[in-house]
Each structure stands twice: as C-alpha cells, then as structure tokens.
Chains A and B, each alone.
Chain A
Amino acid sequence: MEALASTSTAARRPQRRLRERLLGENPTAWAFIAPAVVIILGLTIVPVIWSLLLSFRSSDLISPSHSVGLANYKALVHDKALGAAVRHTLIFTVLFVPLSIVAGLGLALALDRRIRLIGLYRTLILVPFIVATAVQGVLFSFIFDQRFGVANSILHRLGIPSQGFLDDPSQALYIIILIALWGSIGFCVIIYLAALQDVPKELKEAAAVDGASRWGVLWHVTIPQLAPITVFLVVWQTLTALQLFDLVYATTRGGPLESTVVIVYYIYLQAFQLFHAGYAAAIAYVVALVLIGLSAMQIVYRRWRVAHP
C-alpha cells in the first residue's frame, strides 16, 4: 500500500513540473485570487463605470432607462434642495472635523501616562465608537426626547426651559454634530495614542535639556512629529463627515422641516425613495470625485513625506 502511494506521487511530480514549466504558477495564482477578483472588481470597478453611464440616463431602477444626455448634471446645479443638503453637510464637516481632532489630540495627550484606572478611562472613551451608529442614534433620540428625555430633565432641574433638540429645526443639526463627536472622538484618541508611542523620546529629552518648557516640547516637538497622523485624521474625518448618513437616519430622517438632510441622505432619497436613479447617480458621481480627490491628496502627501523625511 505504502509503495503504491509513493510511486503514484513520484509519477505525479514530473507532471506538475511540466505544467509549471509551461504555465508558470498562473493557474494556481488565478485560482487563489479568483474570489477577490470576481467580488471586488465585479462589484466595484464594474459599478463605477455602470454608474457613470447611468448618470446620463433616466432610470427608475426597474423599467428600461433612456438617455437624457447631460440633463441630470444640468438639473443638479439648480436643485435648491440639493443646495440645502450641501450646506448642511458643510456645516457638519466644518464643525465635526476640527472639534473631533482637537479633542482627540487633547485626550490622547492626557491619557498617555501610567496612572491607575487609565485603562478604564481609555475603554470608556473608545466604546461609543465601536457600537453601531444606529445604536448611538436611537439612544440619543431618547436622551434628547423633548418630553421623556433625560436632557430636558437635567435642564429642568437647572431651571432652564425645555428645548426642542432634535425636534427643533434650528437645533437638530447641531445636536447631531454633538452625538457624532461623542461617537467618534474615541477613534481619534486611539490613533493619536498609537502615534504618540512612536515619537522618539530622545527628541523630547533633547528639547527639555535645551531648556524648553513642557508646552515648548509639546508645541515644537510632539505636535510636529504627529503631523502625518493629523493629516491622515483630517482626511479620514472629512471623508466620514461628507458621507454622513447612518446617524441622520437613526435620529431625524432628515427632519424637522428637512433641516438635517445631508448629501448622502439626499442621494438615498432620490435613488431609493423617489426612484430617480439616474439623477442620484449624477449627484453621487460629483460627490465621489470630491472624495476620491481628497483620498488622492492624502496618498500624494504620504509619498512626499516618505521622499522628504
């Protein structure tokens, strides 16, 4: 039995050699990458082109579409509702990005020390980030509920009149920013904490020996050393902010009085509620170009950093 098995492998081995000589490792390699190629390229590269074609057509997702030329792109320039969505998205971005990064850096610097309970503090600050945005949104819908919420209860005890919060068109967007900050500062904190471990101790010590104060070391050594991470976070948080959807859906669904409709929420409405798929694709394409541009800038910056250390 053993002898039989060994002769058969011996017979197979030259066969494999021959195949490898002719084809190299091509068949094995393509078998290995086939699932990734089919799924990733099939459901990303193909849809990217498909979307572009769709943006020049009128389509309701189900019945056959027809060409409309540049009409979708012309329409989006004059769409007042889209203009409002862009404005809401920009307000969100302009407040969310710097606040989350500054708070994240401040907290990371405070948490970067060996004291008791530090692990607990880090965990508590990070946990909001890992739970689903749907959970965050539903939880804060309750906390900021006009009648039953704990927020108004606290204001009541302080003698401040009840607020509308998510039901007030002038407050809702800012409440959403507050919830988003609670949910994502933890991410900035752990990224900065990881980066702080890589700041060379010798640099800080050398600055201290040269008579720099603690603030001096922080301002002239630590923060410049963190620059690549700050650039990464600015881009990452901006991409997150421009693509805001989940939190709006889980809290206000765009209301009250459409005061929290943001760009991606508007695309969702156009594509899957109003079935203007061609128009939605056109808006998505314009937004995507901005997002891809931002990512590309980050990549170029990284390359440049590596070339000019």
Chain B
Amino acid sequence: MSIRRPRISPWHLALAPIAILFGLPFAWMLISSFMSTAQINRFPPTIIPSSFHLEGWETVLGGAEFPRWFLNSTIVAVVTVISNLVFCSMAGYAFARLKFRGSTVVFLLILATLIIPFQITMIPTFIVMHDLHLSDTLGALIVPNLVTPFGVFLMRQFFLNLPIEVEEAARIDGCSRLGVLLHVAMPLAKPALATLAALTFLVSWNELFWPLIVINTDSNFTLPVGLTTFQGAHSVDWPAVMAGNVLTALPVVVAFLLTQRTFIASLTSSAVKG
C-alpha cells in the first residue's frame, strides 16, 4: 500500500504572487469604494478599513449622472452589437457565397480599411456627424460602428468554411438567399456570432476617444467619458470615484467571467486571422 501525497507544484511560488499583483488593484478599487473620505484622507492611508461606508455608492447610484451614463453605454453597446451581427453576417455571406460584379474589389477595399488608423478619419467623421445633425447625440456613437470591417472579414471566413451542400438543398427547395442566410447559415454560425458579439461589446463599452470628441452634453456621456469627467471634478471624493469605477468595470468583467472561452476566442482571433 502506498500513500499518495498531493504534490504542490513549485510553479505556484512564482505564479501566485504575480497573479495577486495583477488582481490587487481591483481589490483596492472595491475596498476603497466602501470607505469614507475621512478614512482615505488619513495619512498614511488606511489599507484595510475598520468599518465599511456607503457614501461613495450613494453619490454614484443616487445622483442623476451615473445611472444615465450606464443607460447610455447600454443603449450604444446593445444597438452596436445587434447591428454588427446582422450587417456583418449579410455582407460576410454575400462575399463568401454570392457571385457578383465588383465583389473582389469591394472586399479588398473593406479589408484595406482594417489598417487605416482612426486618427486620419476622425476629423472628417466628426464633420460628417455634425452635418447629419448627429454630433452630441448617441447616434454619433452608433452610426460609425454599425458594421465593422473586422466583423465582415470574420463572418466571411466562417461562411466560407461551412459545407455548401445544406444551403444548396434549401435553395433547391425554393428558399431565397435571405431565407438561407437566416434559417440555414446563421444558425450554423453561432460560434462566430458569439465571438463577434463579445468583441463588439468589449470595444463599444470601453471606448473613450471618439465619445470624448463627439459628445459635449453631460447627459449624453457614456461611462468611460463620464467617469474621467467625474474624476476631474471630484478628485477629493475618492470613494465615489472608485464606486463609479467599479460600476464601469463590472459589466465587462461579469460578461468575461461568464463566457471566458468566447472572449478569449475573440481576442485571439485578431492574431490568428487579422
């Protein structure tokens, strides 16, 4: 009879401290959102507080600003994700399956826009939004992101790899191209659609630069813009700033923890295919 001792890998000695180092700032963010300003103003600052306070959260959740920004961020993210799923699928399917004049040229042009940096398109885009009377509205945050070149590329690659026989069977039964896309191809494309949804949500929720340029009115801010503005105005009320920070980070972190595989697939897809 042999006694098996669970052997603890020596790798933990290196990995555990590093992982803690990456996680610790978040712990500090959460803890300090439950402190009072008096606790934070002490020198040297408290690290583990003796009592918990809700003032910071009351400022953030009880005020008009953060709930509104949360709503704005949600509207922009939801509309952008849905429109990307629909429009990228349509375009990706057309480029993968339909034969039409100009398809190669248009597809290459769309592909080429992947390497165009935002800095050269932002000024004209700002003027276009102004002329469309969209500047300073949520529309200005949605319209330029309704469909993305990466999404079109991703969906095209996926549809190209689907077996064509099922679609042909549906075509012979008299199904239109739209019918085939909706009832045959898209249900098979769920993994690609999940990848696209995760990436689009992440980018939309976290975006700071473009909303900062195109939105001026407080009530139309999204969370990242609101958060940085709030911090500038309330730099002594750190508990409230940290509560707002938790609120901004939470949806992305929760979505990530729930669907880690999908998120990781969407992040690595840029390296493997882009």
Contact = CB atoms under 8 A, between A and B. Distances in A.
Our verdict on whether A and B bind, yes or no, reads yes
A266 to B, nearest CB: 11
Interface string B187-206: 00000000000000010011
Given A29-B98, A32-B94, A138-B231, A44 B126 contact: no
Main secondary structure of the interface of A (DSSP, over half): helix
B166 interface: no
Interface in A132-162: 132-135, 137-143, 145, 147-150, 152-153, 156-157
A230 to B, nearest CB: 11
Interface string A172-192: 000000000010001100110
Contacts of A296: 115
A26 B101 contact: yes
A51 B143 CA distance: 20
B192 to A, nearest CB: 16
Interface in B140-177: 143-144, 146-149, 152, 174, 176-177
Given A35-B146, A115-B9, A125 B88 contact: no
A136 to B, nearest CB: 8
A285 B120 contact: yes
Contact of A229 (B124, B202, B231, B271): B271
B252 interface: yes
A113 interface: yes
A292 B91 contact: no
A33 B126 contact: no
B267 interface: yes
A134 B147 contact: no
A76 interface: no
Contacts of A272: 126, 213
A246 interface: yes
B104 interface: no
A287 B117 contact: yes
A288 B119 contact: yes
Given A191-B271, A272-B213, A131 B249 contact: yes
Most buried by A among B14, B110, B147, B228: B228
Contacts, number: 280
B20 interface: yes
Interface stretch (A116-124, A207-215, A217-225): A116-124
Most buried by B among A9, A111, A129, A194: A194
B117 to A, nearest CB: 5
A131 B253 contact: yes
Given A121-B16, A127-B256, A284-B123, A134 B248 contact: yes
A241 interface: no
Given A127-B23, A131-B249, A271-B123, A45 B177 contact: no
Given A123-B260, A182-B22, A295-B115, A43 B128 contact: yes
A94 interface: no
Interface string A45-60: 1111011001000000
Main secondary structure of the interface of B (DSSP, over half): helix
B11 A125 contact: no
Nearest to A50: B124
Contact of B208 (A44, A116, A132, A143): A132
Interface of A: 9, 13, 24-26, 28-30, 32-33, 35-37, 39-41, 43-48, 50-51, 54, 61, 107, 110-111, 113, 115-118, 120-121, 123-135, 137-143, 145, 147-150, 152-153, 156-157, 182, 186-187, 190-191, 194-195, 229, 232-233, 236, 239, 243, 245-246, 249-250, 264, 267-268, 271-272, 277, 280-281, 284-285, 287-288, 291-292, 295-296, 299
* Closest 5 pairs (CB-CB, A-B): A47-B124, A29-B100, A134-B224, A32-B94, A36-B91
Given A9-B174, A47-B128, A132-B224, 14 more contacts: A37-B91, A39-B147, A40-B149, A41-B110, A43-B128, A47-B125, A116-B9, A124-B22, A152-B44, A190-B268, A191-B271, A250-B228, A272-B126, A284-B122
